[in-house]
Amino acid sequence: MDTFDCIATKLDVREFSLEKVSDEVKSKVLEAARMTGTGLNTQHWRFIIVEEAENIKRLAQDSISGKWTSGANFAVIILTDPEHNFHMIDAGRVAQNMQLAAWNFGVTSGLFTGLRENELRRDFNIPKSLNPTVILGFGYPARKLVGRKNRQPLESLVHRERFKE
């Protein structure tokens, strides 16, 4: 898929079909993560891929704003090192690349950031040194996506040369 089309058509989806995502697609998603740049090329992040139904369920229970993850085919917990002041930027970049890599194969995804940290750390053995920053849920969409992005027009977002009030 053309890169722009991939970005323009990708919606954050929270309802998935039961169709399984192949190992090949999952590998591409993880490889896209690995290929993403980090501040100072620190590569401080780690990724927990969650595939077993029981663990997906546990992940959804450990969320505050991601209960929908229970219907995902697989999920990825993105861990970043908060010692780096740019770690949230790194998390955002890698999340987006994984989502776009999946969408290239028709696999959609959503993300959540609201989580029950203690429970999540316990259930997924997350070390103290790393922060569970973003969690992605992936799967084929439950239905044909007809939604349109709700976005502001460029005129209200872009300033030329200087910010204008």
Ligand X SMILES: Cc1cc2nc3c(=O)[nH]c(=O)nc-3n(C[C@H](O)[C@H](O)[C@H](O)COP(=O)(O)O)c2cc1C
Least Cβ distance, residue 24 to ligand X (angstroms): 25
Structure tokens at 117: 């940290």
Judged by beta carbon, residue 36 or residue 113, the one nearer ligand X is: 113
Judged by beta carbon, residue 111 or residue 120, the one nearer ligand X is: 111
Judged by beta carbon, residue 110 or residue 141, the one nearer ligand X is: 110
DSSP string of 10-48? --B---B-SPPPPHHHHHHHHHHHHHS--GGG----EEE
Least Cβ distance, residue 64 to ligand X (angstroms): 7
Least Cβ distance, residue 99 to ligand X (angstroms): 10
Binding interface with ligand X (CB under 6 A): 11-12, 14, 65-66, 110-114, 149-150
Least Cβ distance, residue 111 to ligand X (angstroms): 5
State the DSSP code for 155. G
Long-range pairs, 85-90, Cβ under 8 A, ≥24: 86/38, 86/39, 87/39, 87/44, 87/45, 87/131, 87/133, 88/133, 89/39, 90/36, 90/38, 90/39, 90/44, 90/45
Judged by beta carbon, residue 13 or residue 25, the one nearer ligand X is: 13
Structure tokens at 41: 């090329």
